[in-house]
Chain A
């Protein structure tokens, strides 16, 4: 884990998620915080999936209304490192991430020389 301080808005939000195998599996679309207004607020989870843009301003709210699918919540304990991307400890499938690519793959695989 990166030591020192980190700016959540600039350093985590909207960053790429990479699973343990380096697979790209979504963006940090929102963060779930706990204990706001108390002594020590904490990030408890990453929320990913366009419906999470509800809380992301006017354009985000409009876009989230059009977005299909559900959001996925990844507990912060799954985060192994925050660098240029947010690295996760598990495989995307185990965290139910990257499902769009997984759904599209069989379709593409039907065509010749897709591998």
Chain B
């Protein structure tokens, strides 16, 4: 019973932790631009993260290796360094976008100046990371992020045409500008499969000393947690499609996102939306800062671990601190955080194959995996998603340019 409870708590944290600023921006913009037509792309993205997070968790349980151990062992120093540098670049962009998002959410809640809140936000993150035990961080940010469920209520209250919603789950080429539509397909899949999630997940599994007996927990976490996280993405897109599209409002500001909950639900809706965004985005900022530290420590063989006090893994602690400082420096220049968000998702898509290819190779290697080598199902999905990832990686930059970043 205690175990079931623990699993349920883990799943709750995963739901709150799935949605980050990339998901919020792309889902709401897609809803505001194309209504419900792109819901299918979210399904593809969620399927992708489920497939590869499950594989990473299994690799961690069977072989005690996290993603960048595997990258280093399989790609060697040369290609591995390319994977490290591109992975870190994307992590840093993501972190910068999340820090900007935190400041915007705080600004909408308090009315204080943006740059002041950037400083406050990043200092608060550093203090939380340094002083709060990790179990608490996970719970506080995961559970408070669940306030985002207000968007599910908003979606229902806005009474969308459920027939068109259902239609959106069928892949189509959409109506309107094909380049913009393609840009959003890439962005939605990329936001769902953003690589820091698997870096963080697999490193956590190694830290918690998962063994093959924990594979049930791995499957439950990934399947239920990410599927329900995907529901939040649907809710964001559906409510934006029901409210913003007919009104002709585009969603270039995070404030517009909160509006989506305020119109049907009033003040309470607005505050829940902002609090949910604040905690979900902060949780993602913490995960991406840690991911940066995990990657570099695993590549060079340093001590690492979020459950260790900084003196136990000093370079790891310095690494996440440096990530925070660099992320802050990017957004404090005044660059638009929404722009950074979109670029971080698109660049992460370009770098995805370097993360997912070595994982698929290792998950198929009996010397590493023994009895837990990929079965047919994992390989069908694994290969399918590797193809998807390769296609969107090639298409990402051309679509970014052709669609003028989704502006048409």
Contacts and interface: CB of A to CB of B under 8 A. Distances in A.
Q: Which of A11, A84, A101 counts the most B-chain CB atoms under 10 A from its CB?
A: A101
Interface string B65-87: 10001001100111111100000
B63 to A, nearest CB: 5
Given A26-B301, A101-B302, A114 B311 contact: yes
A108 to B, nearest CB: 4
Given A14-B76, A27-B72, A57-B77, A101 B303 contact: yes
Contacts of B78: 56-60
B149 to A, nearest CB: 34
Interface in B295-313: 297, 299-304, 309-313
Nearest to A12: B73
Contacts of A101: 302-303, 313-315
A59 B313 contact: no
A104 B367 CA distance: 36
B131 A113 contact: yes
Contact of A57 (B76, B130, B367): B76
Contacts of B299: 27
A24 B80 CA distance: 19
Contact of A108 (B82, B301, B302, B311): B311
B342 interface: no
A100 B313 CA distance: 11
B359 to A, nearest CB: 15
A95 B229 CA distance: 47
A11 B76 contact: no
Contact-residue size bin, chain B (C-beta under 8 Å from the other chain): 20 to 34
Nearest to B317: A108
Contact of A100 (B76, B302, B367): B302
B262 interface: no
B318 interface: yes
A84 B65 contact: yes
Contacts of B81: 59-60, 63
Given A27-B72, A101-B303, A113-B131, A56 B77 contact: yes
Contacts of B82: 59
B23 interface: no
Nearest to A63: B81
B294 to A, nearest CB: 12
Contact of A29 (B77, B130, B312): B77
A114 B303 CA distance: 15
Contacts of A104: 314-315, 318
B77 A113 contact: no
Contacts of A16: 69, 301
A19 B81 CA distance: 25
Chain A interface, >50% SS class: mixed
A84 B64 contact: yes
Contacts of A100: 302, 315
B303 A59 contact: no
Interface string A22-60: 011111010000000000000000001010010011111
Contacts of A59: 77-79, 81-82
A113 B73 contact: no
B77 A108 contact: no
A58 B3 CA distance: 50
Contacts of B64: 84-85
B301 A25 contact: yes
B281 to A, nearest CB: 26
B10 to A, nearest CB: 24
A63 B76 CA distance: 13
Contacts of B131: 113
Contacts of A113: 130-131, 309
Contacts of A17: 301
A50 B347 CA distance: 28
A58 B301 CA distance: 21
Contact of B309 (A24, A85, A114): A114
A101 B77 CA distance: 21
B206 to A, nearest CB: 10
Contacts of A29: 77
A14 B310 contact: no
Contacts of A11: 367
A82 B317 CA distance: 28
Given A60-B77, A108-B311, A24 B63 contact: no
5 contacts: A13-B76, A24-B297, A101-B315, A104-B318, A107-B318
Interface of B: 63-65, 69, 72-73, 76-82, 130-131, 297, 299-304, 309-315, 317-318, 367-368
Given A11-B367, A13-B73, A84-B64, 16 more contacts: A10-B73, A14-B72, A16-B69, A27-B301, A48-B301, A56-B78, A57-B77, A57-B78, A58-B78, A63-B81, A85-B64, A101-B302, A105-B314, A109-B311, A115-B309, A115-B312
